[in-house]
Amino acid sequence: MTTFFYSHPAFFEHQTGSAHPESPYRLTAIATALLRPEFVKLIHQEAPRAEPETLRLVHTEQHIRNIFDLVPDENIIYLDPDTVLSRGSGQAALRAVGAVCAAIDAVFNGEAHNAFCGVRPPGHHAMPEAAMGFCLFNNIAVGAEYARRHHRIKRVAIVDFDVHHGNGTQACFEDNPNVLYASTHQHPWYPGTGNPRETGVGNIFNVGLPSGSGSKAFRDAMTHTILPAVDRFKPELVLVSAGFDAHRDDPLASLELDEEDFGWITTELLTLADRHAGGRLVSALEGGYNLEALRASVAAHVRALMGAC
């Protein structure tokens, strides 16, 4: 398979402070993993900068203006106890959205079968009207609307296996029957959303996993709930919020997955993309804060994307 990997030096310029878990070192770990000989056929692409109007596909004008108005000339500022702005944050955020949109263009234009966007800041907690949870803009949510409008498709499925529920993505689409959002996550845990009773208009599927859950619980949730929901939906594009913080070694939660689980679910989602979407699948980095675990997990994910699993 032809797999694109999107990155850009601007992502390293989103500075969060020495003690913050969402640090530029995450991308260094990923870059190290993807330089291995097994990934020699991975095609590296430079993430373009999204135009500000692209953000308006899901975000309010006030939120967009607030973010760029608050970008500091030096040091960092906190939008909330978790979410940081530095001098380079605005440009990094535009390129994070731009990477996802460019990857979507690539799979629709036939240049790539699938793509992984190694971006920061992450996105799935960003609400239409507010930043939160390390996230400024919702990269995957913008991508879903971009695909529907620019490539004239109707149905997009978003699958989120980050350990934290993607409350922002759910908020963007809970009233939209043409976008399916399906999530496995630790529950109860930050941000407190993601109860299975949250079903939107029949397009939201949440499976909360208790603390300590491992591979069996995760794979059962995917096999019995998430994957059948995506299959029934018949998406024309599959998007993935690829958070790797459900790994057993991650410091921010307490699920017990390993890198093989991430390779497995990637392969399963590729099967559904092949069945319904001409193979079109785009994933974007969300969480993952133990650098060794992140390195191994991303390698498993990209290995599966390239058809090596």
What are the structure tokens assigned to 27, written together?
């991308």
What's the CATH code of the domain at 36? 3.40.800.20
pLDDT digits (tens, 9 = 90+) for 181-226: 999 999 999 999 999 999 999 999 999 999 999 999 999 999 999 9
* Contact between 69 and 131 (Cβ < 8 Å): no
Start-to-end Cα distance in the chain? 12
| Residues contacting 208, CB < 8 A, separation 6+ | 165, 185, 186, 187, 188, 194, 195, 196
Backbone angles phi, psi at 169, to 5 degrees: -65, -45
Among candidate residues 125, 164, 165, 301, the one labeled active-site is 125
pLDDT recorded at residue 1: 81
Per the confidence metrics, is the pTM higher than 0.95? yes
- Give the rounded percent of residues in the chain with a pLDDT score beyond 70: 99
Return the structure tokens found at 299: 């390698």
Q: Which long-range contacts (CB under 8 A, 24 or more apart) does 49-52 make?
A: 49/91, 49/94, 49/95, 49/98, 50/94, 50/95, 50/97, 50/98, 50/101, 50/142, 52/94
As for how many domains the chain has, the answer is 1
Other Cβ atoms within 10 Å of 49 Cβ, number: 18
What is the per-residue pLDDT across 7-59, written as a single tens digit (0 to 9) for each? 999 999 999 999 999 999 999 999 999 999 999 999 999 999 999 999 999 99
Q: Which two tokens stand for residue 85?
A: 């702005």
| Residue 301 among the catalytic residues | no
Q: What average pLDDT score do residues 280-287 get?
A: 98
Range of the domain at 11: 3-305
Whole-angstrom distance, CA of residue 173 vs CA of residue 165: 14
Measured between alpha carbons, how far is 195 from 244 in angstroms, rounded to an integer? 21
Q: Are 163 and 125 in contact (CB under 8 A)?
A: no
Which two tokens mark 20? 């913050």
Report pLDDT for 51: 94
Q: Which two structure tokens, joined as six digits, stand for 65?
A: 């203006």
Number of Cβ within a 10 Å radius of residue 267? 17
Binned at pLDDT 50, 70 and 90, residue 309 comes out as: very low
Per-residue pLDDT, 11: 98
Q: Please state the length of the chain.
A: 309
The whole-number average pLDDT for the span 156-176 is: 99
Write down the residue that tokens 């699938």 correspond to.
Answer: 114
Scanning the structure block, which residue is given the tokens 């941000």?
191
